[in-house]
Chains A and B, each alone.
Chain A
Amino acid sequence: MSSKKQKKFISLIFDNFENLQKKEISDKKKKKELPIFSDGETISGTVIIDQKHNKKQIIEKIQIQFIGQIRMLYEKGTTHDFIKITKNLNEKNKIEIHQEYTFNFQNCQMKYESYHGINAKLDYLIRVIIQKQSKTDTQDFKIWVNNIKKAPKKNDSIKMEVGIPNSLDMRIGIEKSKFHLLDVVLGEVSYLKVKIRLKYMEVSIIKREVTGTGTIIYTESETLTKFEIMDGSVVKGEKIPIRFFLESLNITPTYQNIDNKFSVNYYLNIVLVDEENRRYFKECEIYFFRNSLDSKNKKTLFSKSFFEFSQK
């Protein structure tokens, strides 16, 4: 993020910032817009050191780093840098009051996406380090990484026949198992045998974040939405359509064992509730991938705010 208005000691301007896609995040209760980069892109820009309001100090060395790091929230501050590239910005000792340095990280490796979960956080940042005689100043500038994946060649449909012996037999069919983030989940629930009185049926999307290794494993489950798809007591032979717009959710792609630290998986859960309020459910994993950057196809204000209400 640039700091033009408020003169800071260290600020950074990404090249072509205005034209970059942005990701809005909230960091320490403040809303920020981060530039979005993808794996293999070059990150370049200008670092500005402004000493106007500071005492003129002797700067020994200015370094700039490209860092990819994972932080486990339960580990309190420990970070694991899975990538770190360091470059020196100045060779001389002399420094002006206002000095600008261009930097350039060619074809950065950013195979993981940025992720802010419950227990795990994956961030990419540009760190500026100024070594002085007495102390070292560092400033981090976050970027956001989204990686567009090609649609998987193999995308099997989901077919499940489930039931309760002698009282319920149903077939759940979902057209595919892998979805891009603005995709629509389409399917159908066919009832082959119904001997109980159902009250309603809903689908929910469950996000499961698994962190840790070995014996210490933390699993956080989060129901992202409950979406009622059927009202009333169904009978044999009926086919209930499922149509669910993922667009209405805040989801990430499925992350599988990121740097051996964490995984994020999504599940489609079909829940039946009978008249005695007994719940029956069937869960199956679905995979999400990104086929466009977040801000492309950005939800219109119209649909977004309606969605927010409709989920209440």
Chain B
Amino acid sequence: MSSKGSDLTKRKESVLTPRIEQETLLQELKDKIQRSAFDMRKFLEDEQTILVLIKTTEMISELRTSALSPKNYFELYSFLLNELRNVESYLDEQVKTGLSAQELYKVVQFTGQVIPRLYLLITAGSVLINTEEVPIKDILQDLNKMCRGIQHPTRGIFLRYYLTQMVKDKLPDITTQNSEMHGTVEDSINFIISNFIEMNKLWIRMQHQTPFGNLSEIGKKYVHTMLGKERTELGMLVGTNLSRLAQLEGVTVEIYSQNVLPLILHQIIDCNDKIAQEYLFVVMIQAFPDEFHLETLETLLKSLEELNPNVDIKEILQELMQRLVIYFKTNRAAENQEHKIFTTFSDSISRISQKKVLKQTDLLIILRCLLQIGFSLNLNRIDYVDYVFQSAFRLLNNEIIKQDDSNVVTQMIQEVIQSYNNVIVLIEIESFPHLTNLLPLAEQRKIANNLIENVLKSQTIIEEIEKLQRFFNLIQILLNHPINQNDLQFDSDFQKEQSALCKVIHFFYSDDIEKYFLIFQLLIKELNGTGKVRMKNYIFPLIFSGLKLAQKMRENERNKSEFSISFNQLFDSISTILENLINFFPEVAFKLFLQTAQAANKCRLEKVAYEMMLKAITIYGDVFSLRETQFKMLFSIISTLFTLNYIGNEYFSFLAVQCAIHSKKLVQPIHQAKAICCCSRFFYLQDSLIPTNSLENSQNQKRSIQFHDDKKLVGCLSKAIRIASSSIEFPVSLESLFEILDVCLIFFETQKTNINIEYINTLIELIIQVKEKNQSQPQVLFPQNSLVFINQMIRKFIKKKKGEKKEIYLEINFQKLKKTFN
């Protein structure tokens, strides 16, 4: 081969010019086309075919430029396209009136320049197809082959784009006439695919054929970036082929999988170009129907693995999977297909994951898509979820380092929670806790809270111990994450989550005692020892759970069921929990001991109830006897004791005395008087005499044991009177005395105690004395409400003289009392 240095025909070769120059140049070229087009249209009207062709050649010649960016070239092309369409329809008309289309097809090939020649050839080819003189297959093949003359990427792509545009509506399909001239849909497929292959080759070549010229390094880099960008824009033209292919009716799923897809994939894989592979794969997925992808899923996924390692497979997989998810929403996969689809995806993902070409976050995103596929296929297959979680767990290799990763995992888990909306199902997912545990604390808490919310919302009752254990495994974080004590007040989330947790505990029970006991033990195991701060919250639901169990046991006892566990065991457990609590939260322990005592009483566990009361009293003695709330506390004990109707006399007496002793130790005399007066009632205890306010919780219970200790009764009342008259200031002392009198009258009415007529009258005298003694001190103001109270009492007493037992009141001088206070 010889070479000569000089050349006369110098062509301006491209170096990307600045934007303004580009625009100027584009305008210039447009103007030139415009001028030729003007002449062309004139000849067109005069039907001077030769001149029309000559002017058309002139116009097309402007497409030979190398100086325009792809975007501007596109504009120039579009500008020209309008004119070329006019020429085409003109030639079409000419052929109808006698011009030989075959002659035309030949003659345009005389053109010396390759670009105008091929544009004209395509135009003539389009006209020739219309005549049906030559088999369309031959024309298409010929055009395809001749277009190889353009090896310049941009110019070649546009030429071939013109080709697709011109023959677009002429391609044979199964809906079109089938004959030798018209061709078959296979002809169309072959044509489009080979055109696609050629366009793609040119497109890829753009990346490697940069007109660097004498650019500096920075300049080269700039050009490279610009080209990459503009190249991506040209991808659309390449993708047109795939869209057109998909539009062919004749491309059935069989033809697609056997003839079309292998060719497309081969080309995409073979080109080994990142941009092309990414773009075309997505276009292919978008262009063809989802049914096709399902049919060819395995091939499709395997080919993904063969792509250039730099390709973002994630984007492609995501596109495919998300489309299928939507598809499955309206088109259920056949049952026998479901599993195959899922495993095809999962196998592929696992292979991709092993290759380590994808970033961890991307793999997680894909797993999330797989999860959605699983959902859309069959929500009942929790093994799918389990698979995804396990995969994610293995992938993360026991730790999460990046925020992105944890976000994806969290989303994934939350989607699972939302999709099932049923904790009973969720806890079956073995790998759920493993995966959750890898998340940062905040995310773990969020998920645990979601689960709890779910139980609350759906009112799901968990009775199986295994399930409950699993549930606790899932929400473990809430029970043990570190708490910043100082910040606790501000951590409203913590309060919210703990109160939700407390609520949820109420959903763990069973009507089966054995099961319930196991649940209760589990609750103790899980909750006890979670620390002071948490225990303060959990203790109530925990103890109430125990008490509810006790109640259920009692109910079942009536049905004569037998259980392997005893009440004592149960109450022992409760008691142990409470004792551990005394040091931290005595008040809570105190209240709960009282509650437990009542419960034990209901269960007719005399001794247990007694012990619980004793514990409450001990706490009171140790902790509360010096507090301001002591009176209220003591009254809780007293009123509880009234309800314990199954406690035998011996225990009862002891507890009552304890109450009385503590009453005397109260700080304020008025409280002492009230409490002792109240205690007095323990010592003559009959059904009718139990104070109504303490009966609230034990409406239907009758005290089975009668208790009467007259000595202690009189002792209490006398002590109360003494305190009221001597230690309490006037006029409050009067109120106290009236109250005591009221109580005394109760015992008096029974006529079975030592509170006799003398005792009553003495007390009345004492009241009058106290009144009169203090009346001499005018500075003491008698408060109106005291007076009202006293007058009410007096009216009540006087009424008794007319009541059922009026005969015993004959010798009691209420009138004098009335007189004194008038």
Residues on A facing B (Cβ under 8 Å): 162-164, 168, 197-200, 225-235, 238-241, 243, 245, 247-248, 273, 275, 277-282, 300, 302-303, 305-307, 309-312
B110 and A230 form a contact (CB under 8 A): no
Whether B146 lies near A307 (C-beta < 8 A) is no
- Beta-carbon nearest neighbor of B8 in chain A: A277
User: Of the 9-residue stretches B39-47, B50-58, B81-89, B358-366, which lies at the interface with chain A?
Assistant: B50-58
Residue of A nearest to B152 (CB): A232
Q: Are A277 and B107 in contact (CB under 8 A)?
A: no
| Smallest CB gap from A272: residue in B | B1
Measured between beta carbons, the chain A residues less than 8 angstroms from B6 are 277
Please state if A245 and B4 are interface contacts (CB–CB under 8 Å).
no
Given contacts A232-B155, A245-B106, A278-B7, 9 further A-B contacts (CB under 8 A): A162-B1, A199-B13, A228-B117, A232-B156, A233-B205, A275-B13, A281-B4, A302-B99, A307-B110
In the complex, A265 Cα to B7 Cα: how many Å? 25
Q: Is the CB of B53 within 8 A of A306?
A: yes
Interface residues of B in 749-794 (CB under 8 A from A): none
Using Cβ atoms and an 8 Å threshold, which residues of chain A touch B114? 200, 228-231
Please state if B149 and A240 are interface contacts (CB–CB under 8 Å).
yes
Evaluate contact between A227 and B112: CB separation under 8 angstroms: yes
Size bracket of the B interface: 35 or more
B159's closest neighbor in chain A, by CB?
A231
B220 to chain A, nearest CB (A): 15
Contact of B50 among A225, A239, A306 (CB under 8 A): A306
User: B residues within 8 Å of A by Cβ?
Assistant: 1-7, 9-11, 13, 49-50, 53-54, 57, 64, 99, 103, 106-115, 117, 145-146, 148-153, 155-156, 205, 209
B108 contact set on A, CB distance < 8 A: 306
Are A232 and B103 closer than 8 Å at their CB atoms? no
A-B contact pairs, 25 of them (CB 8 A): A163-B1, A168-B1, A200-B114, A226-B112, A228-B113, A230-B151, A234-B151, A240-B148, A243-B109, A245-B106, A245-B109, A247-B110, A275-B13, A277-B7, A278-B5, A279-B3, A280-B2, A281-B3, A282-B1, A302-B49, A302-B99, A302-B103, A306-B107, A307-B110, A310-B57
Contacts of B112 in A (CB 8 A): 225-228, 310-312
Q: Which residues of B contact A282 (CB under 8 A)?
A: 1-2
B1 and A235 within 8 A (CB): no
Partner of A309, one of B54, B99, B155: B54
Q: Which residues from chain A contact B145 at a C-beta distance below 8 Å?
A: 241
**Would A164 and B155 be within 8 Å (CB), given that A197-B209, A238-B148 are in contact?**
no
Smallest distance from the beta carbon of A91 to chain B beta carbons, Å?
Answer: 56
Residue in A235, A278, A302 whose CB lies within 8 Å of B4: A278
Smallest Cβ-Cβ distance to B10: which chain A residue: A277
Which residue of chain A is the closest to B54 with respect to CB atoms?
A: A309
A260 to chain B, nearest CB (A): 31
Q: How far is the CB of B144 from chain A (nearest CB, A)?
A: 10
Candidates B5, B64, B151, B152; contact of A240 at CB < 8 Å: B151
List chain A residues, Cβ under 8 A from B209: 197, 233
* B473 CB → nearest A CB, Å: 61
Task: Give the top 5 A-B pairs by smallest Cβ distance, nearest first.
Answer: A232-B152, A232-B151, A277-B7, A248-B110, A228-B114
Residues on B with beta carbons closer than 8 Å to the beta carbon of A228: 112-114, 117
Q: Complex formed: what's the CA distance from A198 to B111 in Å?
A: 21
B residues in contact with A275, CB < 8 Å: 13
* Residue of chain A at shortest CB distance from B153: A232
Chain B residues near A199 (CB-CB < 8 A): 11, 13
CB neighbours of B57 from chain A (8 A): 309-310
Chain B contacts for A245, CB-based, 8 A: 106, 109-110
Q: Which residues of A contact B106 (CB under 8 A)?
A: 245, 303
CB distance from A51 to the nearest CB of B (A): 50
Instruction: Name the B residues within 8 Å of A164 (CB-CB).
Output: 1, 3
B152 touches A280 (CB 8 A): no
Q: How far is the CB of A285 from chain B (nearest CB, A)?
A: 16
A197: nearest chain-B partner, CB-CB: B209
In the complex, the chain B residue whose C-beta lies closest to that of A225 is B112
How many angstroms between the C-alpha atoms of A164 and B3 in the bound complex?
10
A235 to B146, CA, bound (A): 17
> Which residues of A lie under 8 Å from residue B7 when comparing CB positions?
273, 277-279
Across-interface contacts of A234 in B (CB, < 8 A): 151
Residues of A within 8 A of B107 (CB): 302-303, 306-307
- Give the Cβ gap from B198 to chain A, nearest Cβ, in Å: 10
Residues of A within 8 A of B50 (CB): 302, 305-306, 309
Of A162, A231, A305, which contacts B151 at CB under 8 A?
Answer: A231
Contact B103 A235 (CB under 8 A): no
Inter-chain contact A278/B3, CB cutoff 8 Å: yes
Q: How far is the CB of B205 from chain A (nearest CB, A)?
A: 6
* A298 CB, nearest partner CB in chain B, Å: 13
Are B156 and A239 neighbours in the complex by a CB distance under 8 Å? Answer: no
Q: Is B155 a contact partner of A231 (Cβ separation < 8 A)?
A: yes
Residue of B nearest to A277 (CB): B7
Structural contact, B1 and A233, CB atoms closer than 8 A: no
Q: Is the CB of A243 within 8 A of B205?
A: no
Taking CB atoms, residues of chain B closer than 8 Å to A226 are 112
Q: A248–B108 Cα gap in the complex (Å)?
A: 11
Q: How far is the CB of A71 from chain B (nearest CB, A)?
A: 33
The complex places the Cα of A234 from the Cα of B208 at a distance, in Å, of 12
Contact status of A200 and B11, CB under 8 A, knowing A231-B150, A306-B53, A310-B111: yes
Asked whether, in the complex, the Cβ of B153 is within 8 Å of the Cβ of A303, the reply is no
Nearest A-chain residue to B211, judged by Cβ: A275
**Contact B149 A235, beta carbon cutoff 8 Å:** no
Max chain B CB contacts within 10 Å: which of A228, A229, A243, A278?
Answer: A228
A273 vs B115: C-alpha distance when bound (angstroms): 16
Q: Measured between alpha carbons, how far is A123 from B12 in the docked complex, in Å?
A: 48
> Would you call A310 and B13 a contact (CB within 8 A)?
no
The reply to whether A241 and B110 form a contact with Cβ atoms under 8 Å apart is: no
Are A303's CB and B110's CB within 8 A?
yes
Give A232 to B160 CA distance when docked, in angstroms.
15
Nearest-CB distance from B44 to chain A (Å)?
16
**A residues within 8 A CB of B148?**
238-241
A310 to B6 alpha-carbon distance, docked (Å): 25
Shortest C-beta distance, A311 to chain B (Å), equals: 6
A100 and B28 alpha carbons, distance in the complex (Å): 70
**How far does the alpha carbon of A245 sit from the alpha carbon of B538 in the complex, in Å?**
98
Name the residue in B103, B111, B151 with the highest tally of chain A Cβ atoms < 10 Å from its Cβ: B151
**A242 (CB) vs chain B CBs: closest residue:** B149
Q: When chains A and B are docked, how far (Å) is the Cα of A240 from the Cα of B151?
A: 9
Nearest-Cβ distance from residue B143 to partner chain A, whole angstroms: 11
Which residue of chain A is the closest to B7 with respect to CB atoms? A277
* B111 contacts across to A, CB distance below 8 A: 310
Cβ contacts under 8 Å, A163 to chain B = 1
Quick check: A280 and B3 within 8 Å, CB to CB?
yes
Cβ–Cβ < 8 Å partners of A281 in chain B: 1-4
| A235 nearest CB neighbor, chain B only | B205
Check A306 against B54 for contact (C-beta < 8 Å).
yes
Query: Closest CB-CB distance, B331 to chain A, in whole Å?
Result: 43
Q: Is there an interface contact between B1 and A241, defined as CB atoms closer than 8 Å?
A: no
- Expressed in whole angstroms, the Cα–Cα distance for A282 and B2 within the complex equals 7
Closest chain A CB from B57 CB (angstroms): 7
Q: State A232–B113 Cα separation when bound (angstroms).
A: 13
Interface centre among B5, B50, B145 (most CB of A within 10 A): B50
Given contacts A163-B1, A273-B7, A302-B103, A231 and B53 within 8 Å (CB-CB): no
Most buried by A among B1, B108, B156: B1
> Do B4 and A229 touch (CB < 8 A)?
no
Closest A residue by C-beta to B113? A228
**What is the bound-complex CA distance between A229 and B152, given in angstroms?**
12
Asked whether A238 lies within 8 Å of B1 as measured between CB atoms, the reply is: no
Of the candidates B117, B150, B151, which one forms a contact with A235 in the assembled complex, judged by CB atoms under 8 Å apart?
B151
| Bound: A9/B9 CA distance, A | 55
How close is A34's CB to chain B, nearest CB, in angstroms? 27
Q: How far is the CA of A277 from the CA of B146 in the complex (A)?
A: 25
A238 and B151 contacting across the interface, CB-CB below 8 Å: yes
Contact A231 B149 (CB under 8 A): yes
Q: Chain B nearest CB: distance from A60 CB in Å? A: 57
Q: Min CB distance, B56 to chain A, in Å?
A: 11
The residue on B at minimum CB distance from A162 is B1
